[in-house]
Structure 1
Amino acid sequence: MPDFAVNLSMLFTEVPLAERFSLAAEQGFQKVEIQFPYELPAPQIASLLQQNNQQLILLNAPAGNWQTGDRGIACQPDRIEEFRQGITQAISYAKELKCSNINILSGISPESYSLEIIENTFIDNLRFCAEAFAQADIQLLTEAINTQDIPGFFLSSSAQAFDLFRKVDHPNIQLQYDIYHMQIMEGNLINTLQNNLDKIGHIQFADVPGRHEPQTGELNFGNIFQAIDDMGYSGVTSLEYNPSTSTAESLRWIKLIAERE
């Protein structure tokens, strides 16, 4: 089985964020990720991680105003200064929390700019982050997201991501490969992982459709996890799903899949 982490922004939401660390620890998770940890002071999160003997392995950079529809601002030409201020905050949190990965969301393409300008803005911001993160010993990740859930999201396929990586031309950039999003957009999951393993720094998953736990949809996670093990992937694979029941009950798939191996 892969090296699992749990996303505390989507699981254990029965309680406030500060109480989710201990619940995750009770279920055996020593690695956690948080989409946007900024609602809590970094020292408080550091204390919670220490109390529960956990490691924060991933956080997202600030993504604009989520409540008003932002889903990242890295591709938006008129918000470069705001984006880079958010990067300063993300680096500060990552340093204090000893988090080695920061994920950047491209955001939705603004209608008032050409595709060329939008892409160049995203490339420039990725290049800026790649260097800034490298100086802080942090890995830059970016994520392709399906355009059914978020219409207009700029980065929406693995092929597009890898093409952008060539244009960014910096060693400190990898893809956060989300199995849920990529099953919707392109399928061919195992082959894509196998053929691009050197460009993939983190994996997340949920079943399709519904974005719930494994064994609620169409994906054969037993085969997928076995393939991830067999191909020699050395990173973390994270549970990032909306439980269809209580979080604790939604974790039963782990034992069921393990028993079949």
Structure 2
Amino acid sequence: MLKFAANLSMMYQEHRFLDRYAAAAADGYVGVECMFPYEEPATFVRERMDAAGVSQVLFNAPPGVTSKGERGLAALPGRQAEFQAGIEQALSYATALSCANVHVMAGVTPADVTRESLLDCYYENLDWAARQARSAGVTVLIEPINTRDIPGYFLNRQDDAHAIVQAVNAPNLKVQMDLYHCQIVEGDVSMKLRQYLPTGRVGHLQIAGVPLRQEPDRGELDYGWVFRELRELNYTGWIGCEYRPAGSTSAGLRWLTAARA
């Protein structure tokens, strides 16, 4: 059976963040993910998580200063100390929440830095992060993101992400394959799934309707077909529901009922 995790940063916006754990559980979710849990103490998050009976399956490492447009530090030369401090904070939360996956964002490409320099920094930082995470039992994930949602984002394509994972060659470094981003940048989602899932390098999937990032049963991508593909490929990992509901979150979950059936 496919396993779906509610994204509490995008879903259940009608509730305060900590109350979203119970709201997701009430709709039958047993796993949750979020972007950045750091505004709340990890002990508070853990209390709500346990009370709701759900597992935290993913969150992001600190992305830098978001008010300045920063979307990750991993590929940015000269920011290594900040990157490492963010990884240490993320691993502290991962330990407290028993969370096995941390997404590490690459960042927006600076105008005056060569791609070669960015790649060198990216390799070095990912290798360091994976080594720190290994002792905590955590997998580090990197995610190709489309440049419509994040203009200038450094990592956009599945083949580039897999090449980076292979180059770093850390057993706990994997790709977070968001099918919303994949469809916008490359399309051919079914063949990408058939190509990459058997490699063992995909550590997490995410879904959303394309192009408006709403419920998966809205838009151009046929998730009924996608879910059949995932069953045929025997995918057993989590599928994060990282979308913005068109209205009430619970009222828009007809697609989830159909997927579970």
The alignment's TM-score, normalised by the length of structure 1, stands at 0.96
| Equivalence map 1:35-184=2 (5 Å) | 35-184=35-184
> Which letter does structure 1 place at the counterpart of 2:206?
Q
- 1:258 deviates by 4.9
> Which letter does structure 1 place at the counterpart of 2:196?
N
- Which residue of the partner structure matches residue 251 of structure 1? 253
Query: Aligned partners of 2:260, 2:196: CA distance in 1, in Å?
Result: 26
- 1:257 deviates by 4.6
- 1:256 deviates by 3.8
Query: Aligned partners of 2:100, 2:108: CA distance in 1, in Å?
Result: 26
- 1:115-137 deviations in whole A, cap 9, x for unaligned? 10011111111111111111111
**CA 1:127–1:212: 2 relative to 1, 3 Å:** same
Query: Aligned partners of 1:9, 1:37: CA distance in 2, in Å?
Result: 9
**CA 1:120–1:63: 2 relative to 1, 3 Å:** same
- Which residue of the partner structure matches residue 23 of structure 1? 23
SS across alignment from 2:240: strand
Contact 2:91–2:133 (8 Å) recurs in 1: yes
Contact 2:215–2:246 (8 Å) recurs in 1: yes
- 1:177-202 deviations in whole A, cap 9, x for unaligned? 00000000011112111221111010
**CA 1:102–1:247: 2 relative to 1, 3 Å:** same
Query: Aligned partners of 1:154, 1:81: CA distance in 2, in Å?
Result: 20
- 1:67 deviates by 2.0
Query: Aligned partners of 2:259, 2:85: CA distance in 1, in Å?
Result: 43
Paired residues in the alignment total 259
Contact 2:2–2:260 (8 Å) recurs in 1: no
Q: Give the RMSD, CA atoms, in angstroms.
A: 1.1
SS across alignment from 2:38: helix
- 1:86 deviates by 0.3
Q: Runs of 5+ in structure 1 lacking a partner?
A: none
Contact 1:209–1:217 (8 Å) recurs in 2: yes
- Which residue of the partner structure matches residue 239 of structure 2? 237
> Which letter does structure 2 place at the counterpart of 1:225?
F
> Which letter does structure 1 place at the counterpart of 2:237?
G
Which ranges of 4 or more aligned residues in structure 1 deviate by more than 6 Å? none
> Which letter does structure 1 place at the counterpart of 2:179?
I
SS across alignment from 1:38: coil
- 1:7-32 deviations in whole A, cap 9, x for unaligned? 00000011110111111111011110
Query: Aligned partners of 2:151, 2:53: CA distance in 1, in Å?
Result: 39
Query: Aligned partners of 2:234, 2:76: CA distance in 1, in Å?
Result: 36
Query: Aligned partners of 2:169, 2:40: CA distance in 1, in Å?
Result: 35
> Which letter does structure 1 place at the counterpart of 2:61?
A
Query: Aligned partners of 2:224, 2:239: CA distance in 1, in Å?
Result: 14
SS across alignment from 1:19: helix
Query: Aligned partners of 1:258, 1:139: CA distance in 2, in Å?
Result: 27
Q: Runs of 5+ in structure 2 lacking a partner?
A: none
